[in-house]
Amino acid sequence: MLSRARLLHNIRMNTLPQSSASSDDLVQQSPAHRAVLNRLQALLPAESVITDAAGLRPYETDGLTAIREMPWVVVLPETEAQVADIVCCCAEYGVPIIPRGAGTGLSGGARPHQEGVVLGLSKMSAILDIDPQNRIAKVQPGVRNLAITQAAQAHGLYYAPDPSSQIACSIGGNVAENAGGVHCLKYGLTVNNVLGARVVMACGEIVELGGALYDNPGPDLLALICGSEGMLGIVTEVTVALLPEPETKAVLLAAFSQVVDAGSAVAAIISAGIIPAGMEMMDQMAVQAAEAFANAGYPLDAEAILIIELDGAAAELATLNSQVTDLLRQHGAYQIDEAHDASAQARLWKGRKSAFPAIGRLSPDYLCMDGTIPRKALPKVLTEIDTISQTFGLAVANVFHAADGNLHPLVLFDANVPGQTDHAMAMGAKILEACVAAGGTVTGEHGVGVEKLDTMCVQFSSEELEQFFRLKAAVDPKALLNPGKGIPTLTRCGELGGMHVHRGRLPFPELERF
Amino acid sequence: MRQNHLFNRRPTVSADRSQDFIEQIKTASGDQKKLAIQGHGSKAKWLPPAKSDDVLALSDHAGILQYEPEELVLTARGGTSLAEINAVLTERQQMIACEPPQLSHDLVNHSSGTDADADTGTLGGAVACGLSGPGRPWLGAIRDAVLGVELINGEGEYLKFGGQVMKNVAGYDVSRLQAGAWGGLGVMSVISLRVQPCFATEQTLHGEMSASQALALCAKLGVRNLPITGTAWIGGQLHIRLAGNDSGLTAASSALAEFGLQDHAAHPDLWRQVRDQGHEFFQKQPTRQRNAQTLWRLVTPPAAAMPDFLSDLNQDALVLWGGGLRWVYHDDAQAVADYSRQVGGWCWAVGETMPIDPMQRQIMVHLASAFDPHGVFACPLNLNLNSALGSA
């Protein structure tokens, strides 16, 4: 089992080894660090270069608060030229750069580096253009996700991907993580809604990808940048596609006495050729927690509920609504509530959207996992999660983007009980292994960051990991951008226990075994 | 385990050739030979071929490996024909949303309405060339449909990226990177695609108007919630494809009547013709003399004004994607390049080299060397490190 101490050790192992500088004491830095700091202070206004402990403290972690590290320096550029200058300066001296958006990421992708520069993009927060003619918005990376929709609303348009952190998370971070949300099956993830980006590469050069354009020549670099967790380049401008707001929406809540029935209802709806705008499932523990928190009117006796959002033209929706209702009944829904006005819809969604804080009230701490599985594997994987939960003696609440197979088991634990954090992390890793075994993936939308480095060893072979490293080296040969994230080193995977055996070959034959 | 989900008609699944490909790649690498990855060759004339010593025949490596309609995922070998995939999907009322073009071997002599489409492109070719059909702005591009690939790189390593699930951010998105790479990064042995339900009904409306009126109307309709899945302006007519359920289409077509758009029974094959270049516009020997001979594929912001250098828009332009894709005939390459730069788009004289921004090209070349360090793959984009940077 992987202990927290070991996890932190491994995380450091993936980064630069020697650590001479204490963040509180800048005097003891290497000459290179002193030179970089001088350059950064010359490049940027004084308030945009943070070096004092109190100023650095807010940057020591992101949404994955279990993992913290004080950065060496935080810089807050305001222009693309400044970003490029910072990158050039760091590249010259070999100082790592950790790009950071709003710091809401859930996998530690923005965890600082004690000898590196955190490059925060929060000051680059201008909406540069809302163009209803071409249905695009051109924005700086620090713009909040929801702010794009708010700016586009005047034209009857909106930006579709809506991660649950959308009031706070930034579009630059969304691109880095390829953020999803509850409407992905119908409207896609970030990668499907971004048409262009300007990117500062590790060499300091600026490349412009795409634009208000529906395709581009050559290998799809824009798709590669999406979800690359700040390891391939720093996004300084994003062009997103805007969609017309749906004319009408309906939200249905269906209660089931068996999880399996809810799963088969989901399959039946998709099989009938219907792609709902959103289709969420919650298990009993999640329902009870959410209801106690939000008073959404959820049935407390249900083993599982589905929340389904349908949208479209009014005429189309009426037909869809009755089709879906029939299918839900046929598959064992014993209660169906429909919400047609905005306030009733908001109430039904409120329970789901507050599921995480609701669980936070039930339990001192929780870990949010992010596996994706083929939908058909849901009953099997839920049973396995139940078994894992009993083995580890920690409770799990399940919320599930049922439409696209993205499962968020929440592992409940108490960090004040010695050893329980490690135990919860180990249990989370087991759940992700079950997802991979079911044909899924260790992360659907939260990213690998530092949190899932070890589970990546389960999903990928050594050749595949090496290919990732060669890809990275092709654009960032000095490994300066967000080092130690996203892809585990072969050494790290080799040191772990249960490994992926790829096509019958033993992984890492080149490594010694002890 | 999945028997009741599988398609009824069992299509041909050929022998797994991946091991042969690995051997072929390793041998070629050892001999410093270059391999041209070839499916049906349906897009062979779209780019000047790269110099190669041998062919890696992907079309021998065919077959649908897994298709579960309720999972909305189809997994097939790279050499599987699009025609077969479409036939299997149609049986279950599903489709590849972006409708990848099925092209004849001869781009310019393709006659319309032919049913002999067995070798009009493979799945691997469709992804590699990154071309999408008439619904692109509304239904996504081919890269949006790609969920995972099993790739053989230039070292002969068999690698799996992505998977069969809708959401997956584990590792870099090597799968979608393949879209548009024209085989420069490896052989796509197996591809998993997201598929989607067919629409219950489709309807095409049309109205007479100029190109600029059509662009203005498309922009206006774009901000409204209408079930549009295609637009085509040609010969002074705007055609709009609607798709959805009956009640939705009835409402939409009556809303569009106020713009002079009416139901249109003619040309049931119109969308297929513009998708597959079977339309008269693309024919080498048109009934009327053409004003220019060079065919350009212009990708522009959809609302960008039409170029003013065309002598007869009605004859020389075909405008798709709500204005985002314009096929035009024009012989002054400089004028076309200036125009596309000015509007923020890009242009490509199909059959000639594809223009790629030098900075992007440099990144692509380095990426290609990460996947194919010995330059085994003869990619028509010419991404080989040793030869490409010099010639860019």
- The alpha-carbon gap from B228 to the nearest alpha carbon of chain A, in Å, equals 12
Q: Does a structural domain hold residue A489?
A: no
The pLDDT, as a whole number, for residue A478 is 96
pLDDT tens digit string along A392-403? Answer: 999 999 999 998
Is residue A135 located within the same domain as residue A74?
no
Is residue B93 located within the same domain as residue B238?
no
The pLDDT, as a whole number, for residue A292 is 92
Is residue A377 located within the same domain as residue A452?
yes
Contact A221 B137 (CB under 8 A): no
Is residue B87 located within the same domain as residue B155?
yes
Residues whose CB is less than 8 angstroms from the CB of residue B340 and which lie 6 or more positions away in sequence, other chains included: B298, B299, B300, B346, B347
Is residue A234 located within the same domain as residue A264?
no
Chain B 51-80, residues with CB within 8 Å of chain A CB atoms? 68-73
The total domain count for chain A is: 4
Is residue A224 located within the same domain as residue A171?
yes
- For B12, the token pair is 């041909």
Contact B302 A316 (CB under 8 A): no
Q: Which residue type occupies B151?
A: L
The pLDDT, as a whole number, for residue B288 is 74
Is residue B65 located within the same domain as residue B189?
yes
Is residue B163 located within the same domain as residue B41?
yes
Q: Does a structural domain hold residue A504?
A: no
Q: Does a structural domain hold residue A164?
A: yes
Q: What is the CATH number of the domain that holds A444?
A: 3.30.70.2740
Is residue A116 located within the same domain as residue A8?
yes
Is residue A141 located within the same domain as residue A160?
yes
Question: Which one of B169, B226, B361 makes the best mutation probe of the A interface by having the most chain A beta carbons within 10 Å?
Answer: B169
Q: Among A219, A244, A269, which residue terminates a domain?
A: A244
Q: Which residues of A128-144 are buried (b: 16+ CB within 10 A; e: fewer)?
A: eebbbbbbbbbbbbbbb
Q: Does a structural domain hold residue B354?
A: no
Is residue A99 located within the same domain as residue A34?
yes
The pLDDT, as a whole number, for residue B291 is 87
Provide the whole-model pTM. Answer: 0.93
Q: How many CB atoms lie within 10 A of CB A506?
A: 10
What is d(CA A368, CA A451) in angstroms, rounded to the nearest whole number?
11
Q: Does a structural domain hold residue A500?
A: no
Is residue B185 located within the same domain as residue B140?
yes
Is residue B221 located within the same domain as residue B297?
yes
pLDDT tens digit string along B205-254? Answer: 999 999 999 999 999 999 999 999 999 999 999 999 999 989 889 999 99
**Which residue of A lies nearest to B153 if distances are taken between CA atoms?**
A467
Cβ-contact B157, B123 below 8 angstroms: no
- The alpha-carbon gap from B74 to the nearest alpha carbon of chain A, in Å, equals 12
The pLDDT, as a whole number, for residue A361 is 86
Phi/psi-derived region of residue A251, left when phi > 0, alpha when psi is between -120 and 50, beta in every other case: beta
Is residue B83 located within the same domain as residue B209?
no
Q: Does a structural domain hold residue A265?
A: yes
- The alpha-carbon gap from A21 to the nearest alpha carbon of chain B, in Å, equals 31
Q: Among A120, A155, A173, which residue terminates a domain?
A: A120
Is residue B115 located within the same domain as residue B185?
yes
Is residue A180 located within the same domain as residue A230?
yes
Is residue B12 located within the same domain as residue B132?
yes
What is d(CA A256, CA A326) in angstroms, rounded to the nearest whole number?
14
Local structure of A413: helix, strand or coil: strand
Mean pLDDT of all residues in A92-101: 97
Q: How far apart are the first and last CA of chain B?
A: 52
Q: What is the CATH number of the domain that holds B175?
A: 3.30.465.10
The pLDDT, as a whole number, for residue B129 is 97
The pLDDT, as a whole number, for residue A497 is 57
Q: What is the CATH number of the domain that holds A312?
A: 3.30.70.3450
Q: Does a structural domain hold residue A499?
A: no
pLDDT tens digit string along B77-108? Answer: 999 999 999 999 999 999 999 999 999 755 44
Q: How far is CA A257 from CA A304, A348, B28, B242, B247, in A?
A: 7, 19, 61, 40, 34
Is residue A17 located within the same domain as residue A100?
yes
Q: Does a structural domain hold residue B22?
A: yes
> What are the CB-based long-range contacts (under 8 Å, 24+) for A383-391?
A384/A434, A385/A409, A385/A431, A385/A434, A388/A427, A388/A430, A388/A431, A388/A434, A389/A427
Is residue A280 located within the same domain as residue A388?
no
Q: Does a structural domain hold residue B331?
A: yes
A106/B186: higher pLDDT: B186
Is residue B171 located within the same domain as residue B316?
no
Chain B 341-370, residues with CB within 8 Å of chain A CB atoms? 344-346, 348, 354-357, 359-361, 363-364, 366-370
The total domain count for chain B is: 2
Chain B 159-188, residues with CB within 8 Å of chain A CB atoms? 159-161, 163-174, 176-181, 184-185
Domain containing B326: what range?
Answer: 201-349
Contact B176 A224 (CB under 8 A): yes
Is residue A322 located within the same domain as residue A422?
no
Contact B170 A215 (CB under 8 A): no
- The alpha-carbon gap from A443 to the nearest alpha carbon of chain B, in Å, equals 6
Cβ-contact B173, A227 below 8 angstroms: yes
The ipTM, to two decimals, is 0.94
Q: How far is CA A364 from CA A65, A67, A361, B311, in A?
A: 13, 17, 7, 73
User: Backbone phi, then psi, for B148, in 5-degree steps?
Assistant: -170, 155
Which residues in B lie closer than 8 A to residue A198 (C-beta atoms)? none
Is residue B229 located within the same domain as residue B191?
no
Mean pLDDT of all residues in B175-192: 98
Provide the edge-to-edge strand list for the sheet that holds B73-77. B64-68, B73-77, B187-194, B146-152, B158-162
Q: Among A120, A136, A156, which residue terminates a domain?
A: A120
- The alpha-carbon gap from B31 to the nearest alpha carbon of chain A, in Å, equals 23
Under the banding of pLDDT at 50, 70 and 90, the label for residue A313 is confident
- For A231, the token pair is 């390891």
Q: What is the CATH number of the domain that holds A162?
A: 3.30.465.10
Is residue A278 located within the same domain as residue A177?
no
Nearest to B169 among A178, A274, A474 (CB): A178
Q: Does a structural domain hold residue A84?
A: yes
Cβ-contact A219, B178 below 8 angstroms: yes
Contact B159 A461 (CB under 8 A): yes
Sequence length of chain B is 392
Angle at B155 between CA B153 and CA B157, to 5 degrees: 60
Is residue B47 located within the same domain as residue B183?
yes
pLDDT tens digit string along B106-165? Answer: 544 444 444 456 789 999 999 999 999 999 999 999 999 999 999 999 999 999 999 999
Q: Does a structural domain hold residue B355?
A: no
Mean pLDDT of all residues in A134-161: 98
Residue whose C-alpha is closest to residue A476's, from A223, A203, A230, A219: A203
pLDDT tens digit string along A236-293? Answer: 999 999 999 999 999 999 999 999 899 999 999 998 999 999 999 999 999 999 999 9
Contact A319 B159 (CB under 8 A): no
Domain containing A432: what range?
Answer: 364-479
